[in-house]
Amino acid sequence: MSIALAIVMALLLGAGLSVQAGVNASLRSVLGHPLHATIINFVVGLVLVLAYALLSGLRTPGAGQFGRAAPWMYLGGVIGAAYVTGVVILAPRLGAATLAALVIAGQLFAALVIDQFGWLGFPTHPVSPTRIVGAALLVAGVILVRRG
């Protein structure tokens, strides 16, 4: 995959998160509770992923393979559930742009720490003055977006 295609795909995924926030917040307003919207989000996603896996002929890993994974490796589901529930609650209060800016800022700060120490299997990429300036500009962007 070319870097240009990877960049376009990442931008589309980011756009999808903003759309997802609005869709799930709207679903919450109809269903009456953030957890109802979260459950629907994951059920629909599970059904689609299972259908794709079945249609593509993906083989299920053996029980032993699941046991070899460290417990922390299963936290992705916990983080995903917390993210979707949090976005459902926060989207109506913050608006799409402020919510997206804050989520991206949180992602960047966590990513800088992960890169600095090479956690979670990532290669080490030390925090540099340039990266710090980039993060500071993102914070400035969050402030400007929030003040609108």
Neighbours of 24 (CB within 10 A): 21
* pLDDT value at residue 64: 87
Q: Could you tell me the CA-to-CA distances from 37 to 32, 75, 76, 127 in Å, in that order?
A: 8, 21, 19, 38
| pLDDT value at residue 137 | 96
Q: Which helix (H) or strand (E) holds 86?
A: helix 75-94
User: Cα separation of 101 and 107, whole Å?
Assistant: 10
pLDDT value for 83: 95
Residue 1 has pLDDT above 90, yes or no: no
Supply the pTM of this predicted model.
Answer: 0.84
**Residue 63, pLDDT score:** 85
For residues 46-85, one letter each, b for 16 or more C-beta atoms within 10 angstroms of the residue's C-beta and e for the rest, the string is: eeeeeeeeeeeeeeeeeeeeeeeeeeeeeeeeeeeeeebb
Q: What is the pLDDT of residues 77-129, one digit of tens each?
A: 999 999 999 999 999 999 999 999 999 999 999 999 999 999 999 999 999 99
Other beta carbons within 10 angstroms of residue 97's beta carbon come to 13
Q: Cα(82)–Cα(97) distance, rounded to whole angstroms?
A: 20
Residue boundaries of the structural domains of the chain: 1-94, 95-148
For 30-87, how does the pLDDT look when each residue is reduced to its tens digit (9 = 90+)?
999 999 999 999 999 999 999 999 999 999 998 889 889 999 999 999 999 999 999 9
Q: Which is nearest to 44 in space by CA: 67, 24, 63, 62?
A: 24
- pLDDT over threshold 90, residue 132: yes
Q: What is the DSSP letter of 125?
A: -
